[in-house]
């Protein structure tokens, strides 16, 4: 099955929203607010400084996605690309689609001299995803993620 990977555009918003909705539900049993999610996806698609999505497709059908956001490291004088919103449609899993999306991002990062690394966070209980990321060459970090969300409480 031939797969193409391309940057997402505004016309991809509905499928990205749906993939993100399913991602949250399947991996964390979270029901996302669709209005908020739709605004967030639209914001990323409209402003590449907020983020970037790549879509994997076959025969014109979107079957997977990978999102990126950015963090500048003063310690390393370069950018970390944070991998986010990884999703492959159920009928296309276990066929190497995510590996192709990851490889696409990895190669793009390697060709950009300002990028010093890739990062992602994974739900502690998502052992399948973690094994996949490790198999692709990522390593566990010495850092733990802490957050304050929502900001007012």
Please write the tens of the pLDDT for every residue from 73-82.
999 999 999 9
Q: Residue 46 in contact with residue 83, Cβ under 8 Å?
A: no
Nearest Cα neighbor of 7 from 66, 83, 61 is: 66
Average pLDDT over residues 5-18: 97
Q: Which residues pair with 3 in a beta bridge?
A: none
Q: What is the pLDDT of residues 50-74, one digit of tens each?
A: 999 999 999 999 999 999 999 999 9
10 Å CB burial of residue 74 (0-12, 13-18, 19+) is exposed
> In terms of pTM, does the model score above 0.85?
yes
55, 8 Cβ separation under 8 angstroms: yes
Task: Identify the structural domains of the chain with CATH numbers, from first to last.
Answer: 4-135 (3.40.630.30)
Identify the band that residue 4 occupies on the pLDDT scale cut at 50, 70 and 90: very high
3 state SS of 143: coil
């Amino acid at each position: 099955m031939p797969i193409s990977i391309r940057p997402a555009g505004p016309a991809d918003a509905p499928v990205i929203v749906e993939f993100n909705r399913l991602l949250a539900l399947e991996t964390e049993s979270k029901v996302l607010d669709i209005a908020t999610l739709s605004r967030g996806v639209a914001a990323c698609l409209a402003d590449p400084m907020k983020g970037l999505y790549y879509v994997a497709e076959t025969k014109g059908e979107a079957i997977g996605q990978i999102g990126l956001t950015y963090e500048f490291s003063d310690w390393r004088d370069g950018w970390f690309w944070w991998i986010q919103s990884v999703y492959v449609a159920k009928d296309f899993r276990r066929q190497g689609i995510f590996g192709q999306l990851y490889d696409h991002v990895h190669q793009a990062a390697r060709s950009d001299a300002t990028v010093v690394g890739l990062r992602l966070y994974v739900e502690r209980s998502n052992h399948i995803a973690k094994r996949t990321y490790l198999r692709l060459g990522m390593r566990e970090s010495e850092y733990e993620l802490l957050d304050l969300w929502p900001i007012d409480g």
